[in-house]
Amino acid sequence: MTNRQRLWRIFGPVIVACLLVGLVLVIPWRGHHSAKTIQRAAVSISPTVFKNKSIKSQAIGEKHPYYVPFFGSSELNRMDRFHPAVMAARYHHYRPFLFGAKGTQSLPQLFNMNMMAPQMENGKAVFIISPQWFVKQGVTPAAFKYYNGAYANLSWLKQANPHSPYDRYTAKRLIQLLGDNGTVGSDAKKIAAGKPLSAWDRSLINFKVTLLRNQDNLFSGLNVNENYDTRIKPKEHLLPQNYNYADLQAIAEKQARKETTNNRFGVLNKFYNSRIKGTKGLHNSQRHFNYLQSPEYADLQVVLNQLAKTNTNVVFMITPINAKWEKYTGLNMDMYYKTADKIKYQLKSQGFNNIVDYSHRGGETGFMQDTIHIGWVGWVDFDHRVAPFLDNPQPVPHYQMNSQFLSKKWCHLDPTQQNLNNFTTTELNR
């Protein structure tokens, strides 16, 4: 055997293997998922579903079953028997598709929505806003990276319009959160500067997106977690056969009392044991928390713009905070209510009028499952407010977007009535 033959015999199989792998990634696999996979994915609240496309776009695009996106954050993981997914399965026509976990604030949600924009067109959605998002720094780079992959970023860049103030703002945020290196960074820099992407940039994006799409189609449906089988389905039969709001409230309150026996905050026993008991320094620890000045307001604005672009009819919920907990930790409730007011002002002045404001209800028995997440009675009430909106036809929304809400001035504004009035006359009606 000559050396050349020997070399071929050694490296030939390696070359063939590399080619085959390349081929697998390049072949446009059809990414169709079974109804069972989608049912599980809808309550998996997993980053894989969140940052990919094939499962969610198939789910939201289907009429039967009718999946409604529920955007939110950690409260979606409070899966007691009154959780929207359980309630819907028992009483309603729609099925919630949950998007959100700890750290999915406005910006990750924007990239999430962008991947299923065509499917969301003229549809409905629920959006749960937590005032806790509105901290000085906004979303952290770590959380953003965890819920946002190259696929989402590149898909967004592909359709970004350098002449839109919203897209320029988003591109700037991308650079702040991810840095300016790599394909994403350098393309975002162009968009942020108002310059269009070159043909080369686009073909590079297209190439990468193709590979990522094939991987998504091939792999996203595997290993969806078992939330559905372990945390949703077994709870359905625990609810009464027929819907009765007053009955459900009473059961929820009773259940809440049963599960909050070891602490004075009215939080779930398990939560108290693992997160509060024995932890020092909690008393008065939140005295200086402030949610009034935050880049999150502008981040929320790009989300609103995205919802307006897809003409989505949205119902918003603003989350409450456990009243006993807030007293213990010294959180300034005046500040909390003003945060809710500022958010509501931003929503209403642009035509987002379906708002469930729970900011004042954190003191009701069983409304909160723990310190900042609703549960039991809260979920029952939430369902009562949201289900009619989703199950019945609604008037077509008319949104009037105003890019002044992207400004630093808005992000930093102290929302006193006078300041809000001033903002209306000098900025919005300009």
Footprint of other proteins (CB under 8 A): 3, 6-7, 9-11, 14, 17, 223
Q: What is the DSSP letter of 406?
A: G
Minimum Å gap between C-beta 77 and other proteins is 17
Closer residue to other proteins, CB minimum distance, 206 or 223: 223
How far apart (Å, rounded) are the C-alpha atoms in residues 314 and 113?
Answer: 13
Q: Answer whether 385's CB lies under 8 Å from 356's CB.
A: yes
Beta strands in 295-408 (DSSP E): 313-318, 355-357
* Least distance between other proteins and beta carbon 214 (Å): 17
C-alpha 75/C-alpha 318 separation (Å) is 12
Instruction: Tell me the two tokens of residue 107.
Output: 């910006």
Shortest distance (Å) from residue 10 CB to other proteins: 5
Beta strands in 109-168 (DSSP E): 124-129
Cα separation, 245 vs 249, whole angstroms: 6
In the complex with other proteins, the residue whose CB is nearer, 17 or 35, is 17
Closer residue to other proteins in complex, CB, 18/193: 18
Nearest CB to other proteins, comparing residues 6 and 409? 6
Residue closer to other proteins (CB basis): 3 or 392: 3
Q: Which is nearer to other proteins, 9 or 398 (CB)?
A: 9
- Report which residue type is found at 395: P
How many Cα atoms sit within 13 Å of 371 on the Cβ side? 17
- Which residues have C-beta within 8 Å of that of residue 64, sequence separation ≥ 6? none
> Which position has the token pair 């949950």?
98
- Smallest gap from Cβ 6 to other proteins, in A, equals 6
- Closest contact distance (angstroms) between CB of 188 and other proteins is 20
CB of 219 to other proteins, least distance (A): 12
For residue 61 the two structure tokens come to: 């695009």
Report the residue number, 10 or 246, with the smaller CB distance to other proteins: 10
Residue 65, preceding bond cis, omega within 30 degrees? Answer: yes
* Among 107, 81, 145, 111, residue whose Cα is nearest residue 380: 81
Count CB-CB contacts under 10 A for residue 366. Answer: 24
257 closest CA partner among 375, 372, 358: 375
Shortest Å distance, C-beta 17 to other proteins: 8
- Compare residues 6 and 412 and give the one whose CB is closer to other proteins: 6
Q: How many residues does the chain have?
A: 430
Coarse DSSP helix, strand, coil percentages of the chain, rounded to the nearest 5 percent: 55, 5, 35
CB of 12 to other proteins, least distance (A): 11
